């Protein structure tokens, strides 16, 4: 007899390049890379500045402030998300400049409630032994 268990949500795996990012989320910080030569902030993690090509970069803590840039309301769940549809997959514009894909939590999956440019704030949710950044409306209770 086979016992079927519900699939779990995917857990990210840190690589040598992304390790500082994931260490940041565990410390409650959203970390970005900043070019020490041209001051450009960037995300996803990489070994060279995408603007000027410099390898002289450093990890910095972002403010966690963002705006809703775009979104999609997902009705067809990925494995592990079956009990949560519909849910909002958001593209957020960080205050420091980079955009990132994330989840929007605490806001109904209703276009009338999802106002582009609405202010957002990062928070972190546990997934396996990792912490993932998600976003909520700024000023709402965590």
Distance between CA atoms of residues 109 and 113, nearest Å = 7
- Choice between 49 and 131, CB closer to Zn ion: 49
Min dist CB 25 to Zn ion, Å, is 24
Does position 55 interact with Zn ion (CB under 5 A)? The reply is no
Q: Which one of residues 51, 61, 106, 140 is an interface residue with Zn ion (CB under 5 A)? A: 51
Tokens (6 digits) for 52: 């000027």
Q: Which one of residues 38, 60, 101, 116 is an interface residue with Zn ion (CB under 5 A)? A: 38
Q: Which one of residues 25, 30, 41, 49 is an interface residue with Zn ion (CB under 5 A)? A: 49
Among 35, 97, 95, 24, which residue's Cα sits nearest to residue 61? 24
Quick one: which segment of 18-26, 47-55, 80-88, 92-100 binds Zn ion (CB under 5 A)? Answer: 47-55
Does position 8 interact with Zn ion (CB under 5 A)? The reply is no
Burial of 13 (0-12, 13-18, 19+ CB in 10 A): exposed
Q: Which one of residues 35, 90, 100, 137 is an interface residue with Zn ion (CB under 5 A)? A: 35
Which helix or strand (DSSP H or E) is residue 25 part of?
Answer: helix 19-26
Q: Which one of residues 40, 71, 93, 137 is an interface residue with Zn ion (CB under 5 A)? A: 40
Min dist CB 45 to Zn ion, Å, is 14
Give the list of residues 6+ apart from residue 38 with CB closer than 8 angstroms, or none.
49, 51, 52, 54
Distance between CA atoms of residues 77 and 36, nearest Å = 41
Interacting residues toward Zn ion by CB under 5 A: 35, 37-38, 40, 49, 51-52, 54
């Amino acid at each position: 007899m086979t016992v079927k268990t519900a699939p779990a949500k995917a857990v990210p795996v840190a690589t040598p390049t992304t390790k500082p990012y994931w260490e940041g989320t565990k410390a409650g910080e959203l970390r970005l890379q900043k070019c020490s030569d041209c001051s450009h902030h960037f995300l996803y993690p990489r070994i060279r500045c995408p603007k000027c090509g410099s390898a002289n970069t450093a990890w910095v803590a972002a403010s966690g402030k963002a705006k809703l840039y775009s979104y999609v309301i997902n009705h067809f769940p990925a494995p592990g998300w079956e009990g949560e549809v519909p849910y909002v997959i958001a593209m957020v514009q960080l205050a420091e400049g980079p955009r990132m894909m994330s989840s929007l939590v605490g806001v109904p999956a209703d276009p009338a409630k999802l106002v582009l440019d609405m202010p957002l704030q990062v928070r972190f949710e546990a997934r396996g032994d990792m912490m993932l950044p998600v976003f909520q409306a700024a000023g709402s209770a965590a």
